[in-house]
Structure 1
Amino acid sequence: MTSPTALPRPLDVEVTRLRLVRRLARRWEHPVTLVVAGAGFGKTTALVQAVRAHLLEPRGVDAWVSCAPVHESAEHLAGALLDALSIKDSKRTLRAVLDTLICAAPLETCLLLDDVHEIPTGSPGADLLAGLVRDLPATAHLVLCGRELPDLPLARREAAGEVITIGPDELSFTDVEVRALGRRLDRDPAPAGALRGWPALVRLAFAAGPAAPWRYAREEILNRLPEPQRHALAALAALDTATDAEVAAVTGTPVALDDLARRIPLVGRLDDGRYRAHDLWTEALCRTTPPGELRHLHRRAAGLLASRGDLPRAGALACRDQDWPLLATLSVDLVNTTMSALPQGIAERWLAHVPPAIRDQPAFLLLHAAVLHATDFTDPRIDPLLDRAWADLKHTAVLGQAVITAHSRADLPRLVELASRADEPNGAPTPIALVLRHSVAATVAEVRGDPESALAEIVRAPTVDVPAQIALATVRFHYHCLNMCGRAGEAADLADRALGDADEHHLRLNGPIARWFDGDPSDLCRLRGVPPGGTARDSFVATAFLTVIASCCGDIAPSSGLPCGDPADHDNPRDAVLACVATAVMAVCAGEETIACQTFSDHLTRWPVTDRFHERHLRRFLAVGYVLNADLRAAWDRAELGPSHDKARTAARALVQARKGDLIPGSRLPFEHALCFLPLSWSVELAARLAGTGDLALGRWLADTLGPVVHQHFRRTGGTGAATLLTALPSPPITRTGIAVLGPMKVTRDGVAVDVPELRRVRVRQLLGLLVLRPLLTREQAVNILWPDLAPADAARNLRVTLTHLRRLLEPDRARGDASYHLRTERDTIRLVRSTWLDVDLWAADLLDTRVPAARTSGDLDQAKDLLTATIALWRGNPLPDLAGLADPDLHVDTDRLRAHHVGHLLTLGELALVSGETTRPAHLADRALSLDPYTPRAHRLTLAAAIRTRDPIRICATREQVLAILARLGAPPDPATELLLRRTLPPTVGREQRGSAVSS
């Protein structure tokens, strides 16, 4: 909840305006409230009074944001909103704001944005506000206060009566309020009453005397000020808010703002110790201060604002004074400090103010190029503009923008040409100069076929205190160099740290892809079937890597075509390698290895292996080239390789040696390396050759890891070894089995429930329940849980009998003696294998649950609700009831966890239904949650909020009594959020003191 110290303090003498406070209290009854009037109408004062009144009897959470020019940026505005909502370390996006509001449910939240006129129409900040208006949750409210509003999609809400508008007529002082203010100031209210209730001017009239009209009053006050205080007032007005020291830095003389605030109306001290002058003084100072004197003050103020990071306000001063040299300096600072997130609207407005005669100055050429880049980085005008700016300016901002544009286009020749410029720093090298110098030098080294030198350069490039896009480009190039050097494991760790939380999905895949090419398939589920993303360049590169991974998993359809195009169509070896490898693995998967060999032969005729740059790019897919081409094999057998490339060479050698009859390398090869480095037809071939000698381990592991596609390859491979594997390894069942454990155990075959003798055996149900809960058990664990009192031999015999019945229950059509597909018993372990032929409701619920956060993150609340509805529908009662009689305490913990998880699903769905404006379903879901766990505060809040939404006094009263009775049984007071909702359930006739005692009792 917003505290009084978090609110701005009004600058005039406050008169309590109960009519406005009551009017603004209605913001809790409508989604949107608009407070729109010119300067000096007391908008902020009225809003602060309303928020303070709400603190006495809160209905929800108020979150206050005072808008400034910087909030034209959507990122800054989202950050300010999240800060007001006390959310830290979140992505600063509209989605994050909406999700925070949704997560606050069932409590209501009100966002109050003051000075919203600082956010111009068409700006990213205005777009964020528009999204907020469109998608505002039903439990959230929005108050927009300012001199004017950006264009927002309010028509639908206005037509539905969901918008309150408060304008100048309601904000003006009434005669009663003018007289009240006069009494507080001990002044005659007559002259102030002639100003039509304009609050700020009424206050000025009281201060200036009874004979002065409002314009004269301002000038009279200023003319009576000593010059140092007038300069201090001008500096304070330019800075918006400031301390004594900051104003003194602008004026060049000591100041006492406390004394200024006592002498000048509409100047006051804020709660954070800073001072502020009302905007009405800005116009008056412009009229009464000589232009040269004011420009001098504004220049010094702009420097201080720039050091604060408030370039938008500094630029507004320069534009107002037509101070083009100052605006040129600020333009360079704007590009230098924002590059990858240029506030395009601000930059375009600055350019619009610049007279045509001076638009060719280097700083404005730079600003123009940055605007073009923000619109379309492929615009051919950008480079010439930057080259002209560099010729005269030689500033790292120009070089930084040039490198960002070249990186965006993947323009290597341009980057190489920029390298020489990075060697000409102006004075001490800045972080951006260092990162440019090292990243360009690294690019040049990589193009020369020396990724080790490139890596040595790129690790020296700083990634802090530089624009985000340059830092991202540096990290991505570092990642690329590690992979080129055969250090994919390190590349994966770097990607996890720097890119694991990136907004773009294709960047989050960098870690899993690098891990795969290091021989680690632990992220296989994230890589199968994933589409490439990012720019066209990103998509092209990712397509090649994902095609190779798909070939290893058997996921390539025979008619997939050429995923990266014809290798002959590419005019550089880097892209030709990607196309060549993608084409070759497609041929291998189709069983046409001769065509794959010819593809490599044709490619090497055009791009010889002696080309260092080309050869190093070929190493990224070393195993494929090693098997298919003798020249590459010979070259790489002589080469010193990085660890990842060495693993790939070892896997390829194992296959080549196996084809020559030497199976020892293959028998020693880690299974994961066979999967990650060899297309599936090759790894299956190696497994079949090993199986011919009785070694079935690789074939069994591939079948367990990849499923039925491996059996298809066994059949295609043929031969004794493949036949042995097909006989020894279970084939997929012909019926689909369903197991339901979220309630009394139920088994289905092809969707039809079965009632067979095996299912009536308690120990069979218990063992199956254990395996659903813990898919891998040791035999010792099973007998200790199921037969803790029997001798080991008797317990082992019972386990064998129970396993026989369980196999028959799961796969009744499998012939006696054939290995079970779903139930695997190997040495000391028992395993229930997941497959497309086995449906388990608990596993399905877990899978649905993992998709809910992604749906909420993407803003698709309907999908999130559908997923939760599907998850809840699987629940038929207490989970795994057959395990209740077993003595293992961990089992009870697991079942309690499942029950708590279900309660969480009910409450989450109820809260999402509440924020979507539903009234009936939240109450029903809250009741279901309370029937399972009557003591959870979250359920109390939802049931109270749902009752309040019904506006049914009987329902509200019953719900309040129910919650209070539960709290009484617990002997615990309600938590603050529950207490707030309990207060709202009391009738309006109950006084404030009575409300407190009613809730506490």
Structure 2
Amino acid sequence: MGEDNTAGLRAVPRPLDVELPRPRLVDRLRCRWSRPITLVTAGAGFGKTTALAQSVRANLLAPRGVDAWVTCLPDHADGNRLAHAILHALGDSGRDPGAPEVLLALRRTAPLDVCLFLDDVHELPDGSPGAALLADVVRALPGTAHLVFSGRCAPALPLARREAAGDVVAVRTGDLAFTDAETAALARSFGRRPADDLCGWPALIRLSLTAGRSASWRYAAEEVLSNLSGPMRTALAALVVLGCATEDEVGSVAGVPVDLERLAETVPLVNRLDDGRYRAHDLWSGLTRTDHLRGKAVEVLVARGELAGAGRIACRAGDWDLLARLAVDLVRTTLSVLPCTTARRWLEAVPADRAGEPAFLLLKAAVSHAVDFGDPSIDGLVDRACARLLDAGDHEGAAAALGQAVITAHSRGDLVRLLDLAGRAQRLDTDSPVLRLVRHSVSAVAAEMAGEPEEALVHLALAPVAEVPRALAVSTTRFHVHCLSMCGRGQDAAELAERMLDDDLASRHAATARWFDGEAVEFQGDDPDSTARDEFVARALHTVIAASFGEITAELPGEQENPRDAVLACASHAAVAVVRGEEELARDLYKRHLARWPVDVKVAERHLRRFLTLGYVLNDELRDRWDNTDLGTSHRRALAAGRAFLRARRGDLRPTLPEEHALCFLPLPWSLELACRHAAAGRTKLGAWLADRVGPAVHRRLRDLAQDPDLAAGAAKLLATVPAPPGHPIGVEVLGPLRVTRDGVAVDAPELRRARVRQLLGLLVLRPVVTREQAVDLLWPDLDPAGAARNLRVTLTHLRRLLEPERAGGEASYCLRADGDTIRLSRGGLLTADLWSFHDLSAADQLDQAVALWRGDPLPDLADLCEAEIGRLRARHVENLVELGELRLVTGDPAQAGSLAGRALELEPFDPRAHRLALAAALRARNPQRTTEVRARVLASLRELCVRPDPATEILLRQTAVSS
């Protein structure tokens, strides 16, 4: 109850002039609540948006669920932008973009139904990432979610199966056209007679009524325009060319002050949206001249980041000079995160005789780079584009071409080309911020490729990052973060990423920097904008990090043609070899790498430091080199981890390695070897920390190490003190008769026939921690202390056998922890209890699941021992039943709501909220007999309590009196 049904309706058009109520159409659209998909398709001017808006407002008056609205724009062809818009409409804008996140947001409204309106869906080209996102959502649409697609044509979505099952409601042109009665009703509201030749076309009927009965739609439109002042006509033209815009944006394009509120009041089919923007109907686009405003409109769209919209203007007008400027801007402002869908659409629109122009060559090169940075045609395309832009005197464009060339060369590790590009950058005779950034970036990349990341940092510190477009600044900052990490300054790298990059990008780069700085952080999802080069680097880093958890990921290709990528391949293969127990192979991998790329090759040696511990342990030459090198902070920590490990192998345990550093810098076989050596000396902290952080892989390896004579003592010590998770999930159910399950199957163990075992288990589920004294006082109050303690020990033994019958002798119990004077169950992980889930689900308002857990009176074996606590559980269950019933009532299921109210009243016959729910459910069900029975029950309860009904209950009682 209390849901905000207006969430996501920020851009629903409000009625203008006179909006004709259309109950017939609203009723048809109300079917959207009973079908998963509704398609509304018709040409411009058939009132699709108006009809949908009326349906939304009807739902506000008599809610059946939550509505959310997205008006599709050209930029929504980008899947990430469309996902962001949908998540924002659903009130979940903080999540990462993508189909899984959209589906999760749709599920979050359950048990309430949610209806997502996607208006102007024709703006999403077939095959675009945006269309693919919608297809993914349609395939996995939750049962409580409904989609309404509105546009000039039906989207190419996988609907055949749903249409065959009758799950699709189609509203076509004939449904949207005005009937004679509706036309007459609208005409009466204007005090005029309608034209006879408009075939029910709503926009033209309305336009004819505003412009005069005898006018054709073109004549009427011309009459409307002719009556506007010059500034008003210009404002309308500016709004038409912009699509949706604020008053300030329209004024900027028109070049004169504008009053869009007055324009909306004067001109039909100009809407003011709820978010404050205005929109002119597409019918006006064919009636207003906009060529003279095109340039300024593009400037506005570019300023607000809508390059796709600006490009659409250029393509529609066939203004290839404008599109060429936009193409350069697109490359310059996006670089390594080029929106390929938009770029390809522009290239397809360019006539063959213009495709060889430098701007389009540059755009083609950028698209090729995004697909395959190793494509040999890229350099030629970029060089031709750069040379022709210079010949034309366009140094800004040449700088953008150089930026693309640098990114491609860096992706390939081509130092020779980078040095050549650095020389070209210095010869450009303009000092714009973009060019200055390109110059410093080229020099920085060249320095890094030469093995001098410290020199690269000097150049990057001079780059005017704050003065250039966002995407260019992001690209430069990412490289800055990389260079800081290369210098062993992981903390600085993480702080720069968090300060300068967007949330998702910052979290990924900061997490990687912190991990290789020795901080065991959590990692986020993949980068949706990554290039093939980014993916190669990410796979190498992930392989090394996964080795810390004993995991083996897909390996990289072994042969690489440059030292930088050869290091990534060598380190990832060596980490996998160590995890497999093939340490000699790992040593050989480093030996072979150094034979091809000797340690004196600066760039190779600097990249080897990224995985310093691996090289330090596996190769004597690298160890000697780094023992006598001034290293950065992160690298010193990695070196300390390698030294501690090697000294431990020699029996020297004096250096104490922080647990996080053991995880971050050592593959799991090495960190566990170190933990076993420390455990043999009585120090189990590292082993316990690794088991808690890494999980079951630790105990699997410890059992293997227990067979190693050199490590057996330490491994046995850890197995005896650090509990291993059981091999299957264990469940304890106390919300009803006690049950214990393994893998979801109830067990019939002899221990369950012991009353004290059942009581102790129930008590440990009910209370987080129980002292031994509390347990014996509660379960054996009549025994002497020695006898009670003996009984407790025996009961604990039976309880351990019940929960973990397969546990080997000498190994610590995972489920049951008896530490000193306290006894507890290990909550979470593989041990679950319905009572714990009940509390969690109740707190998270997942009431249907919480209610489903209840099988009867809870903890029957403790009914006389823990009466107050069991009473509070019962009260919370009653509250859950009533709240869930209220939600079912809102979503149009009065039968289920009444059933839930009845269950609540069986447990608490005098609960006033349950009485109100029962009354409301009976009223909604329209069952007079049931209404009479519920009313009588409520009145009897009030009489028994000798109290008057509260105001809300009294209102319902009056309604039931009338109904019955």
Secondary structure of 2:149 counterpart: strand
Give yes or no for the alignment of 1:201 onto 2:195. no
2:654 to 642, 662, 665: 665
Q: Which residue of structure 2 aligns with residue 840 of structure 1?
A: 831
Q: Identify the residue that residue 41 of structure 2 maps to in structure 1.
A: 36
Whether contact under 8 Å (1:619, 1:645) holds in the other structure is yes
Given the superposition, is the C-alpha separation of residues 109 and 641 from structure 1 closer, same or farther in structure 2, using an over 3 Å criterion? same
- Tell me what 2:750 maps to: 755
Alignment deviations for residues 465-498 of structure 1 (CA, whole Å, 9 cap, x no partner): 9778766655654554454334456667778999
Q: CA deviation at 1:514?
A: 6.0
Q: Judging changes above 3 Å, is the alpha-carbon distance between structure 1 residues 996 and 418 closer, same or farther for their aligned structure 2 residues?
A: farther
Match of 1:924 in 2: none
In structure 2, distance between residues paired with 1:328 and 1:707: 62
Which residue is equivalent to 1:608?
A: 598
Classify 1:966/1:267 alpha carbon distance in 2 versus 1 (closer, same or farther; 3 Å): farther
Q: Could you give the per-residue CA deviations for residues 194-218 of structure 1, whole angstroms, max 9, x where no partner exists?
A: 3333333334434444554443444
Alignment of 1:375-414 (within 5 A): 376-391=372-387, 392=389, 393-394=394-395, 395=397, 396-406=399-409
Superposed CA offset, 1:664-712 (max 9, x none): 635x4556656665566666776777788x6565897599672242342
Report the AA paired with residue 163 of structure 2. E
AA of the residue aligned to 1:166? V
Distance 1:737 1:320 in 2: 63
SS of residue in 2 equivalent to 1:640: coil
Partners of 2:482 and 2:647 in 1: how far apart?
A: 31
Deviations 1:223-257 (Å, cap 9, x if unpaired)? 56665554444334333455666555444455565
Aligned with 1:48 (options 53, 56, 59): 53
Give the counterpart letter for 1:632 in structure 2. Answer: L
Q: Measured at CA, do residues 657 and 50 of structure 1 come closer, stay the same or move farther in structure 2, by a change above 3 Å?
A: closer
Percent pairwise identity: 46
User: Could you tell me which residue of structure 2 aligns to residue 639 of structure 1?
Assistant: 629
Look up the match of 1:139: 144
Deviations 1:610-650 (A, max 9, x none): 33333333334444444444443333332233344334434
Q: 1:329 aligns with which of 325, 338, 354?
A: 325
Change (3 A) 1:877 1:536: farther
User: 1:451 Cα shift?
Assistant: 3.6
Rate the CA distance shift 1:691–1:203 in 2: closer, same or farther, 3 A.
Answer: closer
In structure 2, give the amino acid aligned to 1:443: V
Q: Cα RMSD (Å) of the superposition?
A: 5.8
Deviation at 1:15, TM superposition (A): 3.3
Match of 2:935 in 1: none
- Which of 291, 294, 300 lines up with 2:296 in the alignment? 300
Give 1:912's aligned residue.
Answer: none
In 2, are the aligned partners of 1:742 and 1:875 still within 8 Å (CA)?
Answer: no
**Closer/same/farther in 2, CA of residues 243 and 491 from structure 1, 3 Å limit:** closer
Please tell me the residue identity of whatever aligns with 2:631.
L
Q: 1:964–1:466: structure 2 CA closer, same or farther, 3 Å change rule?
A: farther
CA, structure 1 residues 825+959, in 2 after alignment: closer, same or farther (shift >3 Å)?
Answer: closer
Is the counterpart of residue 113 in structure 1 residue 104 in structure 2?
Answer: no
User: Could you tell me which of 63, 72, 78 is aligned with 2:68?
Assistant: 63
Match of 1:710 in 2: 702
Q: Distance in 2 between matches of 1:182 and 1:638?
A: 92
* Secondary structure at the counterpart of residue 92 of structure 1: coil
The residue aligned with 2:85 is 80
1:920 corresponds in structure 2 to none
**Which sections of structure 1, spanning at least 5 residues, go unmatched?**
287-293, 854-863, 901-929, 949-953
Q: Distance in 2 between matches of 1:656 and 1:5?
A: 63
Partner of 2:733: 742
Residue-by-residue CA offset, 1:558-617 (whole Å, 9 max, x unaligned)? xx9x95676xx4444444445555666677678776666565555444433333333333
Distance 1:204 1:730, change over 3 A: closer
Deviations 1:111-138 (A, max 9, x none): 3333333333333333334344444333
Q: Secondary structure at the match of 1:122?
A: coil
Aligned residues between the structures: 903
The aligned amino acid for 1:665 is: R
More deviation in 978-987 or 251-260? 978-987
Q: Which residue of 2 aligns with 1:446?
A: 448
Q: 2:284 aligns with which of 274, 277, 281?
A: 281
Q: Spell out the pairing of 1:911-930 with structure 2 (5 A cutoff).
A: none
C-alpha distance in structure 1 between counterparts of 2:675 and 2:631, whole Å: 26
* Alignment partners' CA distance in 1, 2:865 and 2:465: 56
Note the alpha carbon deviations across 1:925-975, whole angstroms, 9 max, x for none.
Answer: xxxxx9665455245424774846xxxxx6676667778999995556999
The answer to whether the 8 Å contact 1:34/1:164 transfers is: yes
Deviates more, 1:937-946 or 1:390-399: 937-946
Contact 2:885 2:897 in 1 (8 A): no
SS at match of 1:297: helix
CA distance in 1, matches of 2:604, 2:146: 59
Q: Using the alignment, how far apart are the partners of 1:982 and 1:805 within structure 2?
A: 51
C-alpha distance in 1 between matches for 2:54 and 2:422: 59
Task: Give SS of 2:40's match.
Answer: strand
Contact 1:492 1:514 in 2 (8 A): yes
Which residue among 171, 179, 199 is the counterpart of 1:174?
Answer: 179
Residue of 937, 941, 960 corresponding to 2:883: 937
What amino acid is aligned across from residue 299 of structure 2 in structure 1?
G
Give matches, 1:293-372, under 5 Å. Answer: 294-339=290-335, 342-372=338-368
Please tell me whether the aligned partners of residues 336 and 475 of structure 2 are also in contact (alpha carbons under 8 angstroms).
no
Instruction: Note closer, same or farther for the CA distance 1:89–1:416 as it changes in structure 2 (3 Å cut).
Output: farther
How far is the alpha carbon of 1:335 from its aligned partner?
3.8
Residues 132-141 or 225-234, more deviating: 225-234
Match of 2:760 in 1: 766
Question: Cα–Cα, structure 1 residues 329 and 194, in superposed 2: closer, same or farther, change >3 Å?
Answer: same
- What is the DSSP-based 3-state SS (H/G/I as helix, E as strand, rest coil) of the residue aligned with 2:169? strand
Contact 2:45 2:204 in 1 (8 A): yes
Change (3 A) 1:223 1:495: closer
Check conservation: 1:25, 1:50, Cα contact below 8 A: yes
Q: Say whether 1:127 aligns with 2:129.
A: no
> d(CA) in 1 for partners of 2:247 and 2:752?
88
**Structure 1 contact 811–820 (Cα < 8 Å) conserved:** no
Q: 1:446–1:613: 8 Å Cα contact kept in structure 2?
A: yes
CA 100–684 in structure 1, closer or farther in 2 if over 3 Å, else same:
closer
| Aligned with residue 183 of structure 1, among 188, 193, 200 | 188
After the TM superposition, which residues 174-253 of structure 1 pair with which residues of structure 2 at under 5 Å, given as runs? 174-189=179-194, 192-222=195-225, 229-241=232-244, 246-253=249-256
Contact 2:244–2:278 (8 Å) recurs in 1: yes
Deviates more, 1:314-323 or 1:977-986: 977-986
Amino acid at match of 2:292: H
Q: 1:974 to 1:335 in 2, by over 3 A?
A: farther
User: Per-residue deviation at 1:296?
Assistant: 1.9
Corresponding position of 2:170: 165
Against the structure 1 CA distance between its residues 412 and 831, is the aligned structure 2 distance closer, same or farther, given a 3 Å change threshold?
farther
Q: Answer whether contact 1:821 1:833 (CA < 8 A) is retained.
A: no
- Distance change >3 Å, CA 653–CA 463, structure 1 → 2: same
Separation of aligned partners in 2, 1:187 and 1:734: 81
Match of 1:20 among 1, 22, 25: 25
**1:484 maps to 2:508:** no
Mark the runs of 5 or more structure 2 residues left unpaired by the alignment. 693-697, 932-951, 960-964
Q: Is the 8 A contact 2:207 2:221 kept in 1?
A: yes
> Against the structure 1 CA distance between its residues 115 and 187, is the aligned structure 2 distance closer, same or farther, given a 3 Å change threshold?
same
SS of 1:38 mapped into structure 2 = coil
Equivalent residues of 2:490, 2:517 under 8 A apart: yes
Q: Describe the SS at the equivalent of 2:118.
A: strand
Give the direction of change, closer, same or farther, for the CA distance of 1:197–1:519 in structure 2 (3 Å limit): closer
